[in-house]
Amino acid sequence: MKVYEKPRFTILIFGLSLLMIAGLSVCILMVVFMSVDGVTLDKGMVLFLGILITAFSLKTIIKNNRGYSQQRAEEVKNGDEEVVAKWEIDSEQWRRFYKAKYEDNIRNTTGFGWAAAALMGLVSGFSLWNRLELVEVIVCIILVSGISFLVGKYVAILKARTDLNRQSQIHVAEIHFAKSSIIYNSKLILVNEFGYRPKQITIQEQFNMNVMVFTIESGIGHRKSSLSYTIPIPSDKAEEAQKLVSYYNQIT
């Protein structure tokens, strides 16, 4: 396995992220220029180059993130990084959790569909505004938005089913709580590292059980984003869960 050093990994991901942003910017600009000035060979070639740069950057980021996550997971499991607590969730509770979470994800797929419809409707309206009559533009927007809604919802359903199939293969879930990271069934969650920091950690009642909800923030300045992770609490770990919440909230 390739060994990833933290400083080099950080620089690599940062550089690849900038490259991907540059590729996406080129793609967006070329689409705008082609919608206004028409399609030409040189614009098409630049658009294709932007797509290649974006795809290459994204693929490399995913590959390196996967390798680094596996390495960090092994370090935590082997005791190379201090572990604050270790949980095992029995098969019955884990099965109830991932099935209830799947049902919740399915209910939320409509929102993804509407988001896709709104985005593609705006793009198509902007692209066709000076090319067609108003009625034709409205019809095209409705058609594009309708198709985008169905595609967005289908993709969200497909992801929910993929997550369900992956989680159903786990019989006993394992969570390692380390100082700067959490290993959740071999998935790396950075808590206090590489620009990641805990925004809010709470204990809530979801899916007819108590769960810990980790909201992790990343980015700097106005370019911040958050991801939430839900971890079911075993019945005999209620007190320890309270201590973990206090421990990680001290980092915020």
Q: What is the pLDDT of residues 49-75, one digit of tens each?
A: 999 999 999 899 888 888 887 787 777
Yes or no: say if 33 and 47 are a contact pair by the CB < 8 Å rule. Answer: no
Question: At residue 45, what are phi and psi to the nearest 5 degrees?
Answer: -65, -40
pLDDT at 222 over 70: no
pLDDT at 231 over 60: yes
pLDDT at 94 over 90: yes
Beta strands at 181-184 and 173-178: parallel, antiparallel or unpaired: antiparallel
Instruction: At 48, list the tokens.
Output: 């294709």
Q: Render pLDDT for 183-212 as a digit per residue (tens, 0 to 9).
A: 888 888 888 876 788 888 999 999 889 999
Instruction: At 155, list the tokens.
Output: 């993709």
Short-list 118, 10, 120, CA closest to 64: 10
The per-residue pLDDT for 3 is: 52
Whole-structure pTM value? 0.70
Domain ranges of the chain: 1-80, 91-171, 176-252
Q: Render pLDDT for 99-143 as a digit per residue (tens, 0 to 9).
A: 999 999 999 899 888 998 898 888 778 777 777 788 888 888 899
Locus of tokens 């969730």? 89
According to DSSP H, which parts of 78-216 are helical? 91-107, 109-128, 134-168
